[in-house]
Structure 1
């Protein structure tokens, strides 16, 4: 058994200062320790997949190059092994595809031979196979002080060499208890009067017109644009493939927690998350996380056409959802809604000294004929973006 401080401080020496996750009793000492230290960053995620996407955003902000943004920055996603189910999509189509490394600490509930609750009876035995299937190398979490350094060296060497995650699987009783000495969460905006939703009527525009307006408001030298999977990213690429843009090709719903990780770790950048209604509905818990932690350099623009258009135009239930009121209730500093393209201009021009900004723009369906897929690979678009923000 080790002390929480032994691992956390050794991890800090290796560049790990960002943590995100969902609590498990095995992880309690770590979370309690990190919460006591204002120089460490802990984000309480709505689910484990969001935690993985958020730390991927932190990794994206660890820019390549020699500029002032070129810093070594590492993050840790923590979860109970049952949460691997929630994290499969971002682990297989975000971190693996874009080569965005992170350390995973996965607790081993239901480990064979160790009595546990019935809900862990299947996940316990198959946890190693799940990690193997996702091509995530793993080892047991260190339980002796002299094993911590070598474990972190193996993890960081693999992460740096491959750009992919590495996991430490924590058994019961690996870490001594650490008492929680404070309540609340660091970095969370204080609850106050909720933003009033401002609504604007007008003539509904196409996604193409909306994306052209976004491009006009996002200068390359100071802004990063992360586009949701599907036609949103493909159409943005077709209009203008710029080095300050990244196009998700999977991990539906993960653009917002990823943008949050980037915005928190790189306050020098304005980060724009281009979302879709289907993606937003898939991970609505992210609204609460962005409302609580979102900084003023984060803009969340939801383009709502009421359809899963890239898969054939099947309707979503978004027409019955008031996304702007949800954003307001979750703590966003600004909440706009409408079908007037001027909503985009108001989103960028809004004065929000504290907190993330949100706008939902209702758009029409329809996509240009022969819409191309990006010819630049996900790895290359990520590396290009990191070089770009590292030169600032």
Structure 2
């Protein structure tokens, strides 16, 4: 058994100062220790996939500090691996955005546990191996910590992909939580009043052109959701400050949050779609709680899964702006008029994340190209572009 401080401080020496996850009783000592150290960063995620995407955003903007490269850790119970499969296989893998995973081993064969872990326990190692994520047991002796972290960082640096430590019961001694609440969470005085803009709906093309006009390359990063949103943005103007998700539906917002929190020198814009937003609505609460003023969330809502044939979503019955307001966003806009975009970017003295839902027409150019630049090259280009800031 080790002390939480032994692992966390050894990890800090190797650049790990960002943590995100969903609690498990095995992880309690770590979370308690990190929460009480204001020089470390912990984000309580709505689900495990959001935590992985958020740490991917931290890695995307990672700079070099006193102790070298800044790194992140996603923590989860093994039951949460199911929630994390999509970003682990189509975000971190595809873009080569490494992170350390700490996965608890509930239901480990031979260890009595609750019935809900009876299947996941035995298959946890196979799940990691199926996703090509190398793993080893979490260290239980102090002299094992450094070598385990060195193996993990060597693999991460060499491949650009995640590495997992699987934590058994009783690996870490208890650590009392003496601090209530969560560091970094905003406490808005009152919900933002939703501003609504009536007018004529425009095409996605027109909306994206307006967004490009408001996102100068030297100070802004634009992350576009998977599907036609990213493809059309690429077709209009393939700029080095843009990244196009090619999978991980719904993960653009937690990824943008990780980037915005770790890089306050940048304005970060998340371009979302109605289908993607519906898939991971829990992240609205996370963005409202932690979202900094350099983060902008734009939802282009055409009421359809257009890139898969135009099947309708249920977005027409959802008031996304009111949800954003209730979740703590500092500015919440809604409308059919493209002027909502200008209002979003021109708003002054906004203390927190700002949101706009713009209702747009369906329809996409018939000759819409797929990006010819690979996801790895898009990521490398963006990191080079923002690295010197």
Q: TM-score range, shorter-chain basis? A: over 0.9
Answering whether residue 146 of structure 2 is matched by residue 149 of structure 1, we say yes
The equivalent position to 1:217 in structure 2, one of 214, 217, 221, is 214
The superposition leaves residues 103-145 of structure 1 with CA deviations (integer Å, 9 ceiling, x where unpaired) of 0000000000000000000000000000000000000000000
Aligned position for 1:17:
17
Aligned position for 1:32:
32
The superposition leaves residues 332-360 of structure 1 with CA deviations (integer Å, 9 ceiling, x where unpaired) of 00000001001011110112442100000
1:348 and 1:212 map into 2 onto residues whose CA distance is 14
2:52–2:87: 8 Å Cα contact kept in structure 1?
yes
1:240 and 1:191 map into 2 onto residues whose CA distance is 37
Aligned position for 2:198:
201
2:329–2:353: 8 Å Cα contact kept in structure 1?
yes
Unaligned residue ranges in structure 2 (runs of 5+): none
2:367 and 2:261 map into 1 onto residues whose CA distance is 37
Aligned position for 2:6:
6
Aligned position for 1:183:
180
Alignment of 1:172-321 (within 5 A): 172-321=169-318
The equivalent position to 1:119 in structure 2, one of 102, 116, 119, is 116
1:18–1:76: 8 Å Cα contact kept in structure 2?
yes
Aligned position for 2:128:
131
The superposition leaves residues 127-169 of structure 1 with CA deviations (integer Å, 9 ceiling, x where unpaired) of 0000000000000000000000000000000000000000000
2:63 and 2:12 map into 1 onto residues whose CA distance is 19
- Secondary structure in 2 matching 1:380: helix
Cα offset, 1:176, TM superposition: 0.1
The equivalent position to 1:171 in structure 2, one of 162, 165, 168, is 168
2:200 and 2:350 map into 1 onto residues whose CA distance is 30
Aligned length: 389
Answering whether residue 362 of structure 2 is matched by residue 343 of structure 1, we say no
The superposition leaves residues 22-77 of structure 1 with CA deviations (integer Å, 9 ceiling, x where unpaired) of 0000000000000000000000000000000000000000159xxx9xx6210000
Aligned position for 2:57:
57
1:211 and 1:271 map into 2 onto residues whose CA distance is 15
2:188–2:330: 8 Å Cα contact kept in structure 1?
no
CA RMSD of aligned residues (A): 1.3
Cα offset, 1:191, TM superposition: 4.1
The ranges of structure 1 where at least 4 consecutive aligned residues each deviate by more than 3 angstroms after the TM superposition are none
- Secondary structure in 1 matching 2:60: helix
Cα offset, 1:391, TM superposition: 2.5
1:353 and 1:207 map into 2 onto residues whose CA distance is 26
- Secondary structure in 2 matching 1:274: strand
1:343–1:359: 8 Å Cα contact kept in structure 2?
yes
2:130 and 2:150 map into 1 onto residues whose CA distance is 23
Query: TM-score of the superposition, structure 1-length normalised?
Result: 0.98
The superposition leaves residues 237-262 of structure 1 with CA deviations (integer Å, 9 ceiling, x where unpaired) of 00000000000000000000000000
2:116 and 2:377 map into 1 onto residues whose CA distance is 41
Cα offset, 1:21, TM superposition: 0.1
